[in-house]
C-alpha cells in the first residue's frame, strides 16, 4: 500500500456539498452507479452521508474520464471537482469531476452482488453487511442513531441517570418460555437478559431515578414483522413513582425522540420517503384507554376479544386506528401480566400496568407499570409463577430493606424506529438483525 496522497483541496462530505458551491473540493467514497453518454460520464458517488452525481468530460479531463470509464460499482474512489447547483440532480448539487484516484477497483470477475434492481429480502439479508450501503438503509441507521441520542438526552434532562444492566443473568424476568440459556463457566447455568428491569429496580433504590439502555434477548418463536431475538430496550425506573408518572414519562420520551428525528434527520426522512406530517403530530398528551374500555372498542369493531384476553397484533391495530398518536392502554388484567406487577387496590383483578401502542399498525412500543413493593406478596407471586426463589434473593432484598413504591417501563427501540421510518419490518432498523432463523452475517 502506498501512503494516502493528500489532495490539495478541502475534503468535504456529500451532505455538506451545498456549502461549497463554486469551489473545487474532494469527496472520499464509493462509486454507487454510473451512466455513460458518449464523451460524458455521469457517475454517482456515495460517501455514507449522501449521494451526489458527477459529470466527467473526456475532452476536458481525459485522465479522470479513463479512470472512471467501466469502473465497477462499489469501487472506492477519491474524487476532486467543482460543486455546482443543479436542480435536476438528487440532492440539488452535482460535481464537475477533474481528478479521480481509484483506491480499490472491484474485480470485473467478481462484481458487487447487490444491483440497483429489486432483490428478494432473503438475498439482501444474507448480504446485510453490504445492503447497509444503500442510501435507504444508511438513512434508516442514521435515524436510529438520532433516536438513541435524543432518547438519552431526554432521559438525562428529566433527572434520570444511566445505570447499565448486565446481559448474563441468573433467572428469567419476562417468562421462562423465551429464555436463552448460556453455558456459563464451569457448567454454571446463566441466561441472556430479557429485560434490565430487575437491575434498574436495584439501582433506582440506590440513585433514585435511573435507566438502562442496551440489548435484550428473547427466544421468540414468533415469525412476525415485530419480533427480533435480539433487540434494544430503554428502561427507566423511578423510586416513589406510580403508574401515571410513567405514562407521562413515556409520552414525553416518545414525543422528544420523534421530534428530534423530524428536526435533525429531515433529509434522511425524505430519502426514505416518510410522510413527515404524520410525525409532526406526535406531541403530548396521548390518548388513554383503560383495558376495560379497549375490550368494548374491539367488540364494537367486530373483534371476538373478551375480558381477560391478551392483545395480539390484530387487536393492537384496531385500537391504534382510532388515533393519530400513540395510544396508552392501562390497567390490564393482573393474571396476564408478569410476576412483578403491582395491582389496583380498588380492583385487585387489575394490574397497575400500561402499554403504549404506536399508530399505523406498528404495535406495542412500550410496556411497563408499577412494581409490587410488598415482600410477602412478591414471594407468593414468584411461587405462583414457578420461578426459582434462590435466584431472586437479591431482588427480594429490595423489599426487605426500605421498600418503596416504584415504577418503570421498557421502550422497544426497533419498534419505535420502525414506526418512525415507516418500514415494513423491524429487521431493517437494526444494523445486523437477529431473528428466528437468522444469526448470519
Interacting residues toward ligand 4AD by CB under 6 A: 173-174, 195, 197, 218, 220, 227-228, 231, 233, 235, 364-368, 408-410, 412, 414-415
Partner in contact with 359, chosen from Mg ion, ligand 4AD, none, beta carbon below 5 to 8 Å by kind: none
- Closer by beta carbon to ligand 4AD, 218 or else 399: 218
Query: Should residue 333 be labelled a site residue for Mg ion when binding is judged by CB under 5 A?
Result: no
Query: Should residue 408 be labelled a site residue for Mg ion when binding is judged by CB under 5 A?
Result: no
Q: E-strand spans in 1-151? A: 10-12, 24-37, 40-46, 51-57, 76-85, 93-104
Q: What is the DSSP letter of 50?
A: -
Partner in contact with 378, chosen from ligand 4AD, Mg ion, none, beta carbon below 5 to 8 Å by kind: none
Min dist CB 174 to Mg ion, Å, is 8
148, 188 contact by CB (below 8 A)? no
Residues in region 71-100 near Mg ion by CB under 5 A: none
Min dist CB 367 to ligand 4AD, Å, is 3
Torsion of CA 208, 331, 392, 403, to 10 degrees: 40
Min dist CB 200 to ligand 4AD, Å, is 7
Min dist CB 346 to ligand 4AD, Å, is 22
Min dist CB 336 to ligand 4AD, Å, is 12
62, 22 contact by CB (below 8 A)? no
- Closer by beta carbon to ligand 4AD, 34 or else 255: 255
Torsion of CA 176, 179, 184, 187, to 10 degrees: 50
Min dist CB 294 to ligand 4AD, Å, is 16
Query: Should residue 367 be labelled a site residue for Mg ion when binding is judged by CB under 5 A?
Result: yes
- Closer by beta carbon to Mg ion, 7 or else 215: 215
Can you spell out the DSSP letters for 183-212?
Answer: E-GGG-EEEE-S-SHHHHHHHHHHHSEEEE
Partner in contact with 43, chosen from Mg ion, ligand 4AD, none, beta carbon below 5 to 8 Å by kind: none
**150: closest CA among 413, 429, 426?**
413
Going by their DSSP bridges, the two strands 288-290 and 168-169 should be labelled as unpaired
Q: How far apart are CA 353 and CA 271, in angstroms?
A: 38
Min dist CB 6 to ligand 4AD, Å, is 46
- Closer by beta carbon to ligand 4AD, 107 or else 177: 177
For Mg ion, which stretch binds (CB under 5 A), given 90-98, 225-233, 336-344, 366-374? 366-374
For Mg ion, which stretch binds (CB under 5 A), given 157-165, 246-254, 364-372, 411-419? 364-372
Residue 45 DSSP SS3: strand
Residue nearest to ligand 4AD (CB): 412
Going by their DSSP bridges, the two strands 353-358 and 40-46 should be labelled as unpaired
**351: closest CA among 374, 376, 368?**
368
- Closer by beta carbon to Mg ion, 34 or else 351: 351
Q: How far apart are CA 245 and CA 29, in angstroms?
A: 48
Partner in contact with 228, chosen from Mg ion, ligand 4AD, none, beta carbon below 5 to 8 Å by kind: ligand 4AD
Can you spell out the DSSP letters for 314-341?
Answer: HHHHHHHHT-SS-EEEE--BGGGS-TTB
Partner in contact with 350, chosen from ligand 4AD, Mg ion, none, beta carbon below 5 to 8 Å by kind: none
Q: How far apart are CA 258 and CA 217, in angstroms?
A: 25
- Closer by beta carbon to Mg ion, 71 or else 357: 357
Cis peptide bond upstream of 285, omega within 30 = yes
Min dist CB 77 to ligand 4AD, Å, is 38
Min dist CB 118 to ligand 4AD, Å, is 26
Q: How far apart are CA 253 and CA 269, in angstroms?
A: 20
- Closer by beta carbon to Mg ion, 333 or else 367: 367
Partner in contact with 235, chosen from ligand 4AD, Mg ion, none, beta carbon below 5 to 8 Å by kind: ligand 4AD
Residue-level length of the chain? 441
Partner in contact with 412, chosen from ligand 4AD, Mg ion, none, beta carbon below 5 to 8 Å by kind: ligand 4AD
Q: Which residues in this chain contact Mg ion in the complex, by CB under 5 A?
A: 367
Amino acid at each position: 500500500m502506498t501512503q494516502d496522497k493528500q489532495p490539495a483541496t478541502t475534503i468535504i462530505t456529500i451532505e455538506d456539498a451545498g456549502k461549497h458551491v463554486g469551489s473545487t473540493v474532494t469527496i472520499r467514497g464509493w462509486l454507487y452507479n454510473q451512466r455513460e453518454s458518449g464523451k460524458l460520464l455521469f457517475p454517482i458517488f456515495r460517501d455514507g452521508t449522501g449521494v451526489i452525481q458527477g459529470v466527467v468530460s473526456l475532452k476536458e479531463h481525459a485522465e479522470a474520464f479513463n479512470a472512471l470509464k467501466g469502473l465497477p460499482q462499489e469501487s472506492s474512489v477519491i474524487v476532486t471537482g467543482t460543486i455546482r447547483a443543479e436542480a435536476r440532480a438528487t440532492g440539488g448539487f452535482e460535481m464537475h469531476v477533474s481528478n479521480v484516484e481509484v483506491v480499490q477497483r472491484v474485480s470485473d470477475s467478481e462484481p458487487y452482488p447487490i444491483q440497483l434492481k429489486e432483490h428478494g429480502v432473503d438475498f439482501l439479508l444474507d448480504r446485510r453487511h453490504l445492503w447497509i450501503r444503500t442510501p435507504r438503509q444508511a438513512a434508516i441507521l442514521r435515524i436510529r442513531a438520532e433516536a438513541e441520542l435524543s432518547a438519552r438526552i431526554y432521559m438525562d434532562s428529566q433527572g434520570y441517570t444511566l445505570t447499565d444492566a448486565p446481559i448474563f443473568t441468573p433467572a428469567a424476568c419476562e417468562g421462562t418460555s423465551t429464555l436463552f440459556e448460556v453455558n456459563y463457566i464451569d457448567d454454571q447455568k446463566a441466561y441472556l437478559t430479557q429485560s434490565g428491569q430487575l437491575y434498574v429496580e436495584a439501582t433506582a433504590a440506590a440513585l433514585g431515578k435511573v435507566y438502562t439502555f442496551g440489548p435484550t434477548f428473547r427466544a421468540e418463536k414468533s415469525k412476525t414483522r415485530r419480533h427480533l431475538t435480539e433487540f434494544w430496550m430503554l428502561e427507566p425506573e423511578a423510586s416513589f413513582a406510580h403508574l401515571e408518572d410513567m405514562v407521562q414519562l413515556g409520552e414525553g420520551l416518545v414525543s422528544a425522540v420523534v421530534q428530534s428525528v423530524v428536526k435533525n434527520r429531515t433529509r434522511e426522512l425524505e430519502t426514505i420517503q416518510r410522510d413527515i406530517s404524520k410525525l409532526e403530530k406526535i406531541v403530548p398528551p396521548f390518548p388513554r384507554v383503560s383495558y376495560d374500555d379497549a375490550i368494548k372498542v374491539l367488540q364494537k369493531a367486530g373483534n371476538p376479544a373478551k375480558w381477560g384476553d391478551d392483545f395480539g397484533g390484530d387487536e393492537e391495530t384496531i385500537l391504534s386506528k382510532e388515533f393519530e398518536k400513540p395510544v396508552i392502554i392501562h390497567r390490564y388484567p393482573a393474571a396476564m401480566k408478569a410476576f412483578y406487577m403491582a395491582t389496583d387496590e380498588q380492583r385487585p383483578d387489575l394490574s397497575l400496568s400500561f402499554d403504549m401502542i404506536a399508530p399505523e399498525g406498528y404495535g406495542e412500543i412500550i410496556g411497563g407499570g408499577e412494581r409490587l413493593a410488598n415482600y410477602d406478596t412478591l414471594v407468593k407471586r414468584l411461587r405462583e409463577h414457578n420461578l426459582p426463589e434462590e435466584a431472586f434473593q437479591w431482588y427480594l432484598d429490595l423489599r426487605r430493606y426500605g421498600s418503596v413504591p416504584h415504577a418503570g417501563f421498557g421502550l422497544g427501540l426497533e419498534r419505535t424506529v420502525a414506526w418512525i421510518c415507516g418500514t415494513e419490518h423491524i429487521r431493517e432498523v437494526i444494523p445486523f438483525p437477529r431473528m428466528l432463523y437468522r444469526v448470519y452475517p
